[in-house]
């Protein structure tokens, strides 16, 4: 989502870093460029004005202008101001107390129902026993949609009987108390636009249920409309936090940078994909790092830890050290990679990846990963164990079975041999304490 903004900010800040000394005119020119970049990213103009003024005031300070690396100091100031704009620190969803209620509110089409299931799955994996409650009775498919996604994440869904949404919610809370389910996640009714009836219904439910959280689900792709909706909901209902969906999209990202400043309420969660696992805590400092092209290694590590269990990782390390790494191991790692999320998102978390893209195209094709998996799945267990036995006739059979060509099979086998050779060099280097001779990464085209 932030690719265009990231490229522009990197270009501006790169110009500052390359100078040994900065003048007030240099800072003023950079601030003008930053302001234009943020406005083009659809950030609220009042938010842009305040942010740029803070940056300018700090950047022309004595300690910056007289420092040995003023350009680096300005980069730090921009980073600090972005972090402050996004909320300063992560804010977890509050599900403490006895039978806490979390109300999910928002407009129709913003992803409220799916996000309710994503949150339920996240809480379930942390040891909670959530209950999903459908109260969006005006949209015929909403109740069934919640039932389906609830079944997919293995979380019970309270049956919606009758036409009184508030009565259903109250009955669900009583059921949760009896069955010791917690928290109760209420998927409230939505509309295609903000209206008094919607606000009155949500406000009445909030007063009756006394929820720990009222989370506004916003589609980040809607830009300034998302900010306006947030302001309306906060004024009429009183939200406690925001969930931004579709942060993996290709919109300009202005909503993410504006909503916290406009409402004063923290962004608590971010939807980063269509999969039900694709919901993560919103970390302002990590998001600011991504926007400035500095990567997000911590989130990348967390996603890897979620996809790979410690025992499996140790077993794989042992096989590599004993030179037993084969195509079965390679297949499992490719499948785990797909579980971690879109490849483009993962690469974007690596420091320096955005800068690398500026020097030329970096091919990232998710279809290539799926093709590699299909090729390996078309092999016999014996062929994956000993790929050396794969001759011309076997290549043709594997290609037919995977819907690819023998050339694609050859490319995969070549890449596997390169990876195995690289892993062997690394393990040998660990034993000798010397860097591997002729070490180089295999040239993957993903």
Residue 420 tokens read as 């195995």
- What is the chain's percent helix, strand, coil content, to nearest 5? 60, 10, 35
3-state SS class at 104 = strand
Residue 292 tokens read as 């400035």
Burial category of 5 from C-beta neighbours within 10 Å (exposed 0-12, middle 13-18, buried 19 and up): buried
Report residue 281 CA to chain centroid gap. Answer: 9
Query: What is the pTM assigned to this prediction?
Result: 0.65
pLDDT in tens, 123-137: 999 999 999 999 988
- Kindly list the distances between the CA atom of residue 216 and the CA atoms of 92, 242, 244, 245, 425, in Å, as whole numbers in the listed order: 14, 5, 8, 10, 51
Q: Which of 113-117, 199-203, 248-252 has the lowest mean pLDDT?
A: 248-252
Q: Could you write out the DSSP letters of every residue in 341-391? A: --HHHHHHTSTTHHHHHHTS-----HHHHHHHHHHHHTS-HHHHH-GGG--
Q: Could you write out the DSSP letters of every residue in 184-217? A: EEEE----SS--HHHHHHHHHHHHHH--SEEEEE
Q: Which of 9-23, 94-108, 254-268 has the lowest mean pLDDT?
A: 9-23
Q: Which residue has the higher pLDDT, 181 or 224?
A: 181
Is residue 19 a contact partner of residue 71, using CB atoms and an 8 Å limit? yes
Residue 115's pLDDT is 94
pLDDT in tens, 326-375: 888 888 877 776 666 555 555 555 444 455 445 444 455 667 788 888 99
Distance (Å, whole) CA 322 – CA 308:
20
Residue 153's pLDDT is 93
Give the position of tokens 């990464």.
441
CATH 3.40.50.300: does it fit domain 101-294? yes
* pLDDT score of 94 more than 70: yes
pLDDT in tens, 141-187: 888 999 999 999 999 999 988 888 999 999 999 999 999 999 999 99
Residue 435's pLDDT is 46
Residue 338's pLDDT is 66
CATH 3.40.50.300 domain locations along the chain: 101-294
Q: Which residue has the higher pLDDT, 238 or 290?
A: 238
Average pLDDT in the chain: 79
CATH 1.20.120.140 domain locations along the chain: 3-85
Is residue 279 a contact partner of residue 115, using CB atoms and an 8 Å limit? yes
Give the position of tokens 């500026």.
358
Burial category of 162 from C-beta neighbours within 10 Å (exposed 0-12, middle 13-18, buried 19 and up): exposed
CATH 1.10.260.30 domain locations along the chain: 300-432
Is residue 260 a contact partner of residue 234, using CB atoms and an 8 Å limit? no
Question: Is residue 440 very low, low, confident or very high in pLDDT (cuts 50, 70, 90)?
Answer: very low
pLDDT in tens, 45-87: 888 899 899 888 888 776 665 555 666 777 788 888 888 888 8
CATH topology of domain 3-85: 1.20.120
Burial category of 62 from C-beta neighbours within 10 Å (exposed 0-12, middle 13-18, buried 19 and up): exposed
CATH topology of domain 300-432: 434 Repressor (Amino-terminal Domain) (1.10.260)
Residue 189's pLDDT is 82
Most confident of the following: 5-14, 87-96, 270-279, 373-382: 373-382
* pLDDT score of 445 more than 50: no
Question: Is residue 293 very low, low, confident or very high in pLDDT (cuts 50, 70, 90)?
Answer: low
Q: Which DSSP letter does residue 218 get?
A: E
pLDDT in tens, 234-285: 888 899 999 988 876 555 567 777 888 888 899 999 888 888 888 988 888 8
Q: Which DSSP letter does residue 242 get?
A: E
């Amino acid at each position: 989502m932030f690719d265009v903004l990231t490229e522009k900010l990197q270009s501006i800040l790169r110009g500052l870093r390359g100078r040994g000394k900065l003048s007030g005119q240099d800072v003023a020119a950079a601030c003008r460029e930053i302001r234009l970049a943020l406005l083009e990213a659809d950030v609220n103009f009042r938010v842009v004005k305040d942010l740029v003024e803070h940056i300018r005031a700090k950047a022309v300070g004595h300690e910056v202008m007289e420092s040995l690396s003023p350009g680096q100091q300005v980069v730090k100031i921009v980073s600090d101001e972005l972090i402050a704009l996004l909320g300063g620190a992560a804010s977890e969803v509050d599900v403490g107390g006895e039978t806490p209620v979390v109300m999910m509110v928002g407009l129709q089409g913003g992803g409220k129902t799916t996000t309710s299931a994503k949150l339920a799955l996240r809480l379930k994996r942390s040891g909670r026993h959530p209950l999903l409650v459908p109260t969006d009775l005006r949209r015929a498919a909403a109740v069934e949609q919640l039932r389906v996604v609830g079944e997919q994440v293995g979380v019970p869904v309270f049956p919606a009987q009758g036409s009184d949404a508030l009565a259903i919610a109250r009955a669900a809370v009583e059921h949760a108390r009896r069955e010791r389910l917690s928290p109760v996640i209420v998927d409230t009714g939505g509309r295609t636009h903000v209206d008094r009836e919607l606000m009155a219904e949500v406000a009445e439910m909030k007063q009756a249920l006394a929820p720990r959280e009222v989370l506004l689900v916003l589609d980040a792709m809607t830009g300034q409309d998302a900010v306006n909706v947030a302001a309306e909901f906060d004024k009429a209902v009183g939200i406690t936090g925001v969930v931004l969906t579709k942060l993996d999209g290709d919109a300009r990202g202005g909503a993410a940078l504006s909503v916290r400043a406009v409402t004063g309420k923290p962004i608590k969660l971010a939807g980063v994909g269509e999969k039900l696992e694709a919901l993560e805590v919103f970390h302002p400092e990590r998001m600011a790092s991504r926007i400035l092209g500095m990567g997000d290694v911590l989130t990348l590590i967390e996603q890897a830890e979620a996809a790979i269990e410690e025992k499996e990782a140790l077993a794989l390390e042992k096989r590599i050290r004993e030179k037993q790494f084969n195509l079965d191991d390679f297949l499992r790692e490719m499948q785990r990679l797909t579980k971690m999320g879109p490849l483009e998102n993962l690469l974007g978390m690596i420091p320096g990846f955005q800068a690398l893209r500026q020097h030329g195209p970096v091919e990232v094709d998710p279809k290539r990963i799926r093709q590699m998996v299909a090729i390996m799945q078309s092999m016999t267990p014996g062929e994956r164990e000993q790929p050396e036995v794969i001759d011309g006739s076997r290549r043709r059979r594997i290609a037919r079975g995977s819907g690819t060509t023998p050339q694609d099979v050859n490319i995969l086998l070549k890449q596997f041999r390169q990876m195995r050779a690289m892993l062997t060099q690394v393990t040998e280097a660990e034993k000798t304490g010397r860097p591997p001779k002729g070490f180089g990464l295999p040239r993957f085209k993903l």
